[in-house]
Structure 1
Amino acid sequence: MKSRITIGIVMLLAFVLTSCQTELKLAKKYMAERPNIEAAVYFPEKAEVKVEYNSQYGKQTEVLNGFNQDMFLDVMYNAYAQTMGDYGVNVYVPEDVDKVPVDSTHWLVMLSRMEVSGRITEYEDYLFSDTDEYSYKHPLNTVNVASWFEVNDGNWKPVLFCEHNLMDGFDSKTDYSFWTQKIDYTYTIDTLDLQDVYNYAVYLGKLYAGYTYDYMMNSYVGAELKKKGYAYQLMLRYDPYKKQLRYTEEDDCFVEIKE
């Protein structure tokens, strides 16, 4: 029985390794066959902006006071377009979305909806000593950005979703006194401001560009794997600066919204 289990494990590992090598080869083939891609990219004129009231702490964040949607979206779009260029994708904005040519090297990418939410989030800081556990709760400013994308490369893909949080910077430390048997707990909070939010737009624009390219690449790899009889696929991310492919976590990419 033990030998059968061992053989089964070896066969499973061999299958996984073969699958991984196949994924990498297919991803490299995808990039080699598509050195020049054009993408018509549309961002919305406005985002849905809201500030939530936290009844527990009796207040709401003030980070989004004076928030300029136009600046936020323009900064994000420019970062997106520039980063797509690093992936070998030329971004443009045609006059008529209905006349955009779409195929494997001509994409239509639409950020169809975006929500920017300001809120107070409770952060619980846990500390441990040899015998006890301590926790301290802190209200932190949080800006949540949720985005819905629609992509067409000849066929419409499922709606793609992602969301990310920008929070106050937080750091804490403890000093334990052996003589007094007490813990001295101190913390610092780096409070968000509007400039941090606009800088975050740059980060998200770059991230969305990578997510877009990786999604299209992984879609191709997945379709080819199915043709070869593989039922399992690991997600890949491509680094255009290091020219490297790597495996990634399933939450570090667009998520398909199934209807």
Structure 2
Amino acid sequence: MKIFKHIIIIVFTISLFASCNPQKQLAREFIKSAPAYSVMLMQPEFLYKANLNTYYVDSLAITDEKKRDSILWIQSEFIRRIDDSLLIANYALGFENELKNYKINVFDQTESDKFFSLDSNAWMVNIAQMQIEEEKYEYRDETEYYNYVYYHDHILNAVNVNSWFEISMINSNDQSQNVYYATNTITDDLESSYDFDIFDDKVKYYYEIDSLNLGKIYEYSYLLGRIYATYTFDFIMNNYVSQKQGYPLKKEELLRYVPYTGTFFPAGENRFISLDE
């Protein structure tokens, strides 16, 4: 009798757990159907660029915008030397390759006729705008020994990559193009350590900086393309869940899928940010 009761409890618990995760069940349905989905990626023609290190022109009290922009451009370390076409190409290549890893059919701009002939499950992702900003990043490297805080301040080079996306489903009743935003930053690579010498009761600080350069920025753009491809997959998956359940997911309910483990977790900030938020 006790065994029978235990079986009932286990079955009830499993049923309760499943009933509490209907969104994950729907998400798994989408994963199985992912090969039936297609995405066409539209690339921007150029990059917007900005040098945020304005302390020099500010100290000169230069108010003429054209003169300020000219000086900031000349003084820039990275933006004046970045090849727009190369960075965009790396970004798009990472994007396309990662979507393919998720079993999504990928079309580029040269295949628009074929793409628009699709009847369903087709999405357009337009990278409407990309902006590259360079700045100096203040970073405090600190630790604590015996209730004393030790720190060392660094001024690191940083490059922000800001992206705006227009995402829409083809042949859908809802033809509105929602705009989404994502940003990430790459900096000088700092490796450091604190060493407490018990014999002289002193803390020594060691560090090494691997400086940012153009090659690293181009590699980073490829990585960002891959990351935003995963955001795109999650976006389409969450849209599928919302459509199937009949109402939109709340922000805190949005899911993120990890293909290597086949698991889901809350997306949090690891997603496209709507401009309406």
Relative to the length of structure 2, the TM-score reads: 0.77
Aligned residue among 95, 103, 107 for 2:123: 107
User: Is 2:223 the counterpart of 1:203?
Assistant: yes
Q: Is the 8 A contact 1:109 1:149 kept in 2?
A: yes
Distance in 2 separating the partners of 1:175 and 1:243: 38
User: Is 2:255 the counterpart of 1:239?
Assistant: no
SS of 1:35's partner is helix
Q: Is the 8 A contact 2:129 2:165 kept in 1?
A: yes
Distance in 2 separating the partners of 1:66 and 1:20: 53
Superposed, 1:18-29 pairs within 5 Å as 21-29=21-29
Deviation of residue 96 (structure 1)?
A: 9.4
**Structure-1 residue corresponding to 2:68:** none
Distance in 1 separating the partners of 2:229 and 2:249: 28
Q: 1:94 to 1:168 in 2, by over 3 A?
A: closer
The structure richer in helix per residue is 2
Deviation of residue 178 (structure 1)?
A: 2.4
Q: 1:20 to 1:222 in 2, by over 3 A?
A: farther
Distance in 2 separating the partners of 1:104 and 1:190: 48
Q: 1:136 to 1:42 in 2, by over 3 A?
A: same
Q: Is the 8 A contact 2:162 2:183 kept in 1?
A: yes
Q: Is the 8 A contact 1:38 1:90 kept in 2?
A: yes
Deviation of residue 141 (structure 1)?
A: 0.8
Unmatched segments (≥5 aa) in structure 2: 1-13, 60-71
SS of 1:200's partner is helix
Q: 1:231 to 1:108 in 2, by over 3 A?
A: closer
Q: Which amino acid aligns with 2:185?
A: N
SS of 2:233's partner is helix
Deviation of residue 94 (structure 1)?
A: 4.3
**Structure-2 residue corresponding to 1:256:** 274
**Structure-2 residue corresponding to 1:5:** none
Distance in 1 separating the partners of 2:154 and 2:19: 46
Question: How big is each residue's C-alpha offset from its partner over 1:77-120, in whole Å with a ceiling of 9 and x where there is no partner?
Answer: 11211221222222223469799467751111100011111111
**Structure-2 residue corresponding to 1:69:** 84
Q: Is the 8 A contact 2:138 2:156 kept in 1?
A: yes
SS of 1:208's partner is helix
Deviation of residue 159 (structure 1)?
A: 1.0
Deviation of residue 231 (structure 1)?
A: 6.3
Identity percentage of aligned residues = 26
Distance in 1 separating the partners of 2:268 and 2:275: 14
How many residue pairs end up in the alignment? 244
**Structure-1 residue corresponding to 2:35:** 35
Deviation of residue 128 (structure 1)?
A: 0.8
Aligned residue among 228, 238, 261 for 1:218: 238
Q: Which amino acid aligns with 1:114?
A: M
**Structure-2 residue corresponding to 1:146:** 162
**Structure-2 residue corresponding to 1:7:** none
Q: Which amino acid aligns with 1:258?
A: D
CA RMSD of aligned residues (A): 3.2
Q: 1:19 to 1:207 in 2, by over 3 A?
A: farther
Q: Which amino acid aligns with 1:51?
A: N
Q: Is the 8 A contact 2:162 2:181 kept in 1?
A: yes
Deviation of residue 213 (structure 1)?
A: 1.0
**Structure-2 residue corresponding to 1:93:** 108
Question: How big is each residue's C-alpha offset from its partner over 1:9-40, in whole Å with a ceiling of 9 and x where there is no partner?
Answer: xxxxx9x9556521211001123344322222
State which drifts further: 249-258 or 88-97: 88-97
